[in-house]
């Protein structure tokens, strides 16, 4: 048993009891990163020296009996959060030279609460992807492999570096973001937990923007409780984000133990399809049985516009992305490629700086917003979005939470699903609706597929009712008792 | 809906991204595939539905119209790929 095996809650409590120091646990994480990052590529930037300084400062505060929610706890930070004085790339070449002069609100909240930052975690370029294959800094390798097969698998995306780092025990927790499933799908693929909170729960200020009406930050951890602890520090109202909600942050950690007795759990019939792998269907039924055994009532519900959520998303998200990414012009920050005139400078810079997937989405977004097409695409998508939200609003008059599979498959191999962009987009079929409706969604590991890869269940809740989501997730976690470990992890013989 | 090469070039121009002739052909296939898949939305009757631009749980907040930040030109220009004193520089745009 090494310090890397401890959950985030155990690290926090061990530090408070002085069982070990923040320098001890931070050193253990940095050693694990040095050993495994060359294989996993989970980190774009490791800030070892800074981390040890922060850890030493935390140890001084701990020695003075100071109490802060995350005092001395090391974390990985998705490289989409701006960190003052530390390069922030968003997984893109165009931000390769960018060193933010400011700190994002979410990471500032974590620092306020005493966290130590190990470095910046790899991701799909501008968080656009479901495999982490689109990063300009190389693909991330999933620490899991299929039984009897050494093929390298993707960790999911876009928060693939965060997920791989937590699963391989390089960090007890990580920040992540979710625009269409970027926390929940990689959590499912890597056998860990992750929650996208309600839109507005965490400030978006200082997070590199992808689709502003959908983007939301959240934590990834090895347990539901670890996610609850992190979210309590990340969340909270911020006047610098006008969509940040002015609502109190409840005791998420306590909610994990509430249980599900008396809760009504909705099972959306539209999430069932003939194409779903039998083992995913079986895991879903198993999860529902566990909840019923713990005292919940299962209710069949209908979300009739589910099948249109993904196509709606692929209008709304690229439209917002094309507007947000207009700022990368080679003039004020980031990469620059000279041209004969200003127009050429823009075009050369953006051609050199954006990867294929980002370029596709910017072009789709530009098209659906362009004169003559706006009504047919963007306006229609906004109306579909209203119908998707209405489905959830009606369902939540009958139930307290919904439970579905997180993803239609387990992790796939690198190179698979690369032939056609739409095949890759289908990964997010179960996660995208929550972003369209702004509701919270948690993925919790629930079982293994036939080849020994982890599968997650998704819990969806009412706006600002993450407590019920944590209660249901905690109940699934207790029944699942998921204890299988990935083959690549800190301390394992390789 | 299949995009023709001229449309792909026009979108790329609007998006300020240079594309080569070779890339135009590839993008034509990829973008047409995505747009064709999106056309399934046409089967939904959306008449009378108010469009939803985003999820807002509250009214957008108001505040005093006053300066809350600024006066840090060096920090802001630190990331500029090209600068002169406290200015960003670009190719000449006015003859």
- Whether B1 has a pLDDT exceeding 70, the answer reads no
Nearest by Cα to A326 from A365, A356, A352, A357: A365
In tens, the pLDDT along A270-317 reads 998 777 888 999 999 999 999 999 999 999 999 999 999 999 999 999
Best interface-test mutation with A: which of B7, B43, B54 has the largest number of A CBs within 10 A? B54
Contact B11 A363 (CB under 8 A): yes
Domain that holds residue B11: 5-43
- Domain membership of residue B64 (yes or no) is no
Query: Where along chain A do its domains lie?
Result: 1-494
Range 61-80 of B in CB contact (< 8 A) with A: 61, 63, 72, 75-76, 78-80
Instruction: Compute the distance between CA of residue A196 and CA of residue A177 in angstroms, rounded to an integer.
Output: 7
Q: Mean pLDDT, to the nearest integer, of A190-194? A: 98
Report ipTM for this prediction: 0.96
Q: Give the tens place of pLDDT for each residue, A322-367.
A: 999 999 999 999 999 999 999 999 999 999 999 999 999 999 999 9
Q: Model confidence over B6-63: pLDDT tens digits? A: 999 999 999 999 999 999 999 999 999 999 999 999 999 999 999 999 887 677 888 8
Residue that the structure tokens 């694990």 belong to? A32
Cβ distance of A351 and B49 shorter than 8 Å: no
Alpha helices (H) in A41-98, listed in sequence order: 48-63
CATH number at residue B20: 1.10.20
- Answer whether residue B61 is part of any domain: no
Helix ranges restricted to H, A121-223: 160-167, 184-190
Nearest chain B CA: its distance from A438 CA (Å): 6
Q: State the total domains in chain B.
A: 1
Residue at B34 is within a domain: yes
Question: Given B17, B53, B93, which is nearest A342 (Cβ)?
Answer: B93
Does B37 reach chain A within 8 Å, measured CB to CB? yes
Q: Is residue B12 part of a domain?
A: yes
Is A212 labeled as catalytic in the residue annotation? Answer: no
Catalytically annotated residue among A22, A104, A130, A158: A158
Q: Are A142 and A42 in contact (CB under 8 A)?
A: no
Rounded to a whole number, what is the distance in Å from the CA of A387 to chain B's nearest CA?
8
A111: closest CA among A141, A85, A136? A85
CB proximity under 8 Å: B 13-32 to A:
14-19, 27, 30-31
Contact B79 A359 (CB under 8 A): no
Active site residue A182: yes
Instruction: For residue A93, indicate whether it is catalytic.
Output: no
With cut-offs at 50, 70 and 90, classify the pLDDT of residue A222: very high
What CATH number belongs to A1-494?
Answer: 3.90.1300.10
What is the least distance, in Å, from the CA of A119 to any CA of chain B?
A: 20
Q: Is residue B69 part of a domain?
A: no
| CB-CB neighbors (< 8 A) of B45 in chain A | none
Q: CA B29 from chain center: how many Å?
A: 21
Out of A22, A78, A130, A162, which one is annotated catalytic? A78
């Amino acid at each position: 048993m090494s310090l890397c095996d401890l959950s985030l809650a155990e690290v926090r409590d061990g530090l408070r009891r002085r069982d070990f120091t923040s320098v001890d646990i931070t050193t253990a994480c940095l050693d694990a990163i040095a050993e495994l990052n060359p294989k996993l590529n989970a980190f774009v930037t490791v800030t070892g020296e800074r981390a040890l300084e922060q850890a030493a400062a935390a140890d001084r505060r701990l020695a003075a009996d100071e109490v802060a929610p995350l005092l001395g706890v090391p974390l990985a930070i998705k490289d989409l959060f701006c960190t003052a004085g530390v390069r922030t790339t968003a997984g893109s070449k165009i931000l390769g030279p960018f060193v933010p002069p400011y700190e994002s609100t979410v990471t500032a909240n974590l620092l306020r609460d005493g966290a130590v930052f190990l470095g910046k975690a790899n991701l799909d370029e501008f968080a656009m992807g479901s495999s982490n294959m689109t990063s300009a800094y190389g693909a991330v390798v999933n620490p899991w492999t299929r039984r009897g097969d050494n093929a390298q698998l993707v960790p999911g995306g876009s928060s693939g570096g965060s997920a791989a780092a937590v699963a391989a025990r390089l960090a007890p927790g990580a920040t992540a973001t979710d625009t269409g499933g970027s926390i929940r799908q990689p959590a499912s693929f890597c056998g860990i937990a992750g929650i996208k909170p309600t839109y507005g729960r965490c400030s978006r200020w200082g997070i590199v923007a992808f689709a502003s009406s959908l983007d939301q930050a959240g934590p990834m951890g090895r347990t539901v409780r670890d996610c609850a602890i992190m979210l309590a520090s990340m969340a909270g109202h911020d006047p610098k984000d006008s969509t940040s909600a002015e609502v109190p942050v409840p005791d998420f950690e306590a909610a994990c133990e509430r249980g599900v007795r008396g809760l009504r759990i909705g099972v959306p019939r539209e999430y069932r399809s003939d194409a779903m792998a039998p083992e995913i269907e079986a895991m879903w039924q198993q999860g529902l049985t566990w909840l019923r055994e713990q005292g919940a009532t299962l209710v069949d519900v209908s979300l009739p516009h589910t099948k249109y959520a993904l196509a709606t998303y692929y209008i709304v998200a690229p439209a917002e992305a094309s507007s947000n990414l207009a700022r990368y012009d080679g003039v004020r920050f980031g990469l620059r490629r000279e041209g004969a005139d200003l127009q050429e400078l823009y075009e050369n810079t953006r051609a050199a700086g954006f990867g294929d997937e980002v370029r596709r989405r910017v072009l789709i977004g530009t098209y659906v917003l362009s004169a003559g097409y706006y009504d047919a695409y963007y306006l229609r998508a906004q109306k579909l979005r209203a119908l998707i939200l209405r489905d959830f609003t009606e369902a939540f008059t009958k139930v307290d939470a919904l439970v579905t599979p997180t993803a239609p498959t387990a992790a796939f191999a690198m190179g698979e699903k690369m032939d056609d962009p739409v095949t890759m987009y289908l990964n997010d079929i179960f996660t995208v609706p929550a972003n369209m409706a702004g509701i919270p969604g948690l993925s919790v590991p629930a079982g293994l597929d036939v080849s020994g890869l982890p599968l997650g269940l998704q819990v969806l809740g009412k706006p600002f009712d993450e407590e019920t989501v944590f209660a249901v997730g905690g109940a699934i976690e207790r029944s699942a008792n998921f204890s299988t470990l990935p083959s690549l992890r800190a301390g394992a013989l390789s | 809906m299949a995009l023709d090469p001229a449309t792909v070039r026009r979108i790329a121009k609007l998006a300020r991204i240079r594309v080569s002739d070779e890339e135009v052909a590839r993008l034509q296939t990829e973008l047409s595939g995505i747009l064709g898949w999106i056309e399934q939305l046409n089967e939904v009757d959306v008449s009378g539905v108010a469009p939803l631009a985003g999820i807002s749980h509250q009214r957008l907040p108001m505040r005093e119209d006053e300066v809350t930040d600024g006066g840090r030109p060096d920090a802001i220009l630190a990331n500029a790929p090209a600068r002169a004193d406290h200015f960003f520089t670009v190719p000449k745009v006015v003859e």
